[in-house]
Amino acid sequence: MPSNLITAILYAMVIAAVYAIFYYLNHKTPLPKGCENLKVECEGCKISSCELHPSHNIKEEVHG
Amino acid sequence: MSELFSLFLAAVLINNIVLTKFLGICPFLGVSKKLDSAFGMGVSVIFVIVGASIMSYGLYYLVLVPLGIEYMKLITFILVIATFVQFTEMFIKKYSPALYKSLGIYLPLITTNCVVLQVALDNISNEFNFIEMVIYSFAVPAGFMMVLLLFATIRERLETSEIPEAFKGNPIALVVAAIMALAFSAFAGLV
Amino acid sequence: MDRWKNFKSGFLDENPVFGLYLGICSTLAITTTLNSALGMGVSVIAVLIASNVIISALRKIIPDEIRIPVYIVIIASLVTIVEMLIHAYSPSLYSALGSFINLIVVNCIIMGRAEAFASKNSIIDSALDGLGMGLGYTLSLVTMSLIRQIIGTGSIGLSNPFTDDVIFNFQIIPTGYEISLFKGNVGAFLTFAILAASLTAYKNSKKEAKKK
């Protein structure tokens, strides 16, 4: 049980790190030209973890 | 061969992921207001589910089972799906702006979509082999897209009808979904 | 006073299920019986409070750019633990809820509250907010399951999930007169639509009263 748990935690950290790296890289790649105002079209739902949700825009303004 | 075909048909019509299993309702209600956005959403979902399912399946049988940590499958699958979506979005942003315009904006929404995670989990619990897994992973989002397109056409018509004030928006959409579920229940017993 | 108002808003004004349409997938599927509704509600409350507290405690340490990945890892670990606990201590609840326990991870409510509230407020406020939203969610589930079970099967019953003892079981509508449509998927959509419309009507009437 103990050795298995350590493997599991290490494994979780590895894939979480991979995801974090990809998320960060994606965050840094700029939108292609002409696509910046596409976000307005999506008015559907209140799923705030979706990046298109308006709540994300406020944070970006504060950070400058 | 006929088994694969009945697997496909069952996933699309009889056990339709939206009308029978109640998954994917959030984007279903949010994106189905116009036919174009419904189409974009549908194609994105098919692509993400097929890709993420193959990766999850591979990771489960090649890493989790040999290491004996099958209980990590939930964490693994959700992270694999999220990583795949990020990678796809990055790829499309860099190499195909036209594709990004039509499909890319729906990709972040699919990360927390119930359908993707459920298909990945189903592939394991149903103990499919590789071919069955690919067919199932294609059939389920195809069924989702079909219902989404039908729903979008109905909703476009609903815009010009007289609806009671309390029902406007999502409640009447759910009533339409109820009627569609009733219609689709006629498919039970097809295979 | 602000805390109490925030707590109350999770019940009616900002009801996560019928007002904000979050977590619909599990609502439609789980509410066939009162037992599964309560079981799911309690699990969601547990995960919601735990995730809110952890994220609020770590909010100063998590770098802003990768906060979504961190939230996902925390919530996924919590759900895995809850699933294993349910599997061990209550097999009947586990088979009733099926794979919807796993889908708590992508339940929009938990992610939404983590993002909107827990990342910006203190631990106590976040825990209370989690409790309020969770109770509002559970109340909505219970309401819907009561309607569906009474009309669909005619009886109402509750059993202890840990020991499978029946706590009570009444037959309200005699067998043969129930509308079994409400037990299946069509009834789920219909009940949900009617409840959502009622909430909208209530909110509209309040707005009208305010205008006057």
How near does any CA of chain B get to the CA of C31, in Å?
A: 12
User: What average pLDDT does the structure give for chain C?
Assistant: 84
Domain membership flag for residue C127: yes
C181-210 pLDDT, tens digit per residue, is 888 888 888 888 888 888 888 888 888 888
pLDDT in tens, B74-122: 888 989 998 998 888 888 888 888 888 777 777 877 877 888 999 999 9
Q: What value does the mean pLDDT take over residues C66-73?
A: 84
Q: Which residue of C has its CA nearest to A54?
A: C116
Distance CA C138, CA C136 (A): 5
Q: How far is B133 from chain C (nearest CA, A)?
A: 18
Among A29, A38, A45, the residue with its CB nearest the CB of B90 is: A29
Instruction: For A36, name the nearest residue in chain B, comparing CA atoms only.
Output: B101
pLDDT at A41: 46
Domain that holds residue C47: 2-207
Which segment of B96-110, C87-101, C114-128 scores lowest on mean pLDDT?
B96-110
Out of A34, A41, A47, whose CB is closest to B97? Answer: A34
Q: Total domain count for chain C?
A: 1
Domain residue spans of chain A? 2-63
Give pLDDT, residue B23.
87
- Cβ of B108 within 8 Å of Cβ of A31? The answer is no
Of the pLDDT bands very low, low, confident and very high (cuts 50, 70, 90), residue B161 is confident
A44, pLDDT greater than 60? no
Tokens for B52, please give them. Answer: 């993420």
The predicted model gives C140-166 an average pLDDT of 83
Complex ipTM, two decimals? 0.82
Q: Which residues make Cβ contacts (< 8 Å) with residue B3, sequence separation at least 6?
A: none
What amino acid is encoded at C158 in this protein?
Answer: L
Phi, psi at A34, each rounded to 5°: 90, 0
Residue A47 is predicted with a pLDDT of 53
HEC sequence for chain A: CHHHHHHHHHHHHHHHHHHHHHHHHHHHCCCCCCCHHHHHHCCCCCCCCCCCCCHHHHHHHHHC
* B133 token code pair: 């897994």
pLDDT value for C209: 85
| pLDDT at residue A55 tops 60 | no
Rounded to an integer, the average pLDDT of C27-40 is 87
The answer to whether B31 and B41 have CB atoms below 8 angstroms apart is yes
Among the partner residues B69, B83, B104, nearest to A4 by beta-carbon distance: B69
The model's confidence at residue B50, banded by pLDDT at 50, 70 and 90, is very high
Query: Is the pLDDT at C154 greater than 60, yes or no?
Result: yes
| A47 → closest Cβ in B76, B101, B112 | B112
| Residue C172 pLDDT exceeds 70 | yes
pLDDT at A16: 86
The stretches of chain C forming alpha helices (DSSP H) are: 2-9, 24-30, 34-57, 67-89, 91-97, 108-113, 123-153, 185-211
Residue at C212 is within a domain: no
Q: Is residue C118 part of a domain?
A: yes
Q: What is the mean pLDDT of residues C71-78?
A: 90
Q: Which residues of C touch A23 (CB under 8 A)?
A: 65-66, 68-69
Overall average pLDDT of the C12-31 stretch: 80
Q: Supply the Cα-derived Rg of chain C in whole angstroms.
A: 18
Instruction: Chain A: list its partners (3+ Cβ pairs within 8 Å).
Output: B, C
Res C115: pLDDT:
82
Identify from B35, B36, B90 which residue to disrupt to test chain A contact, counting A C-beta atoms within 10 A and taking the largest count: B90
- Yes or no: say if B49 and B117 are a contact pair by the CB < 8 Å rule: no
Over pLDDT 90: what percentage of chain C? 13
Q: At a CB cut-off of 8 Å and minimum separation 6, what does C80 contact?
A: B71, B72, B74, B75
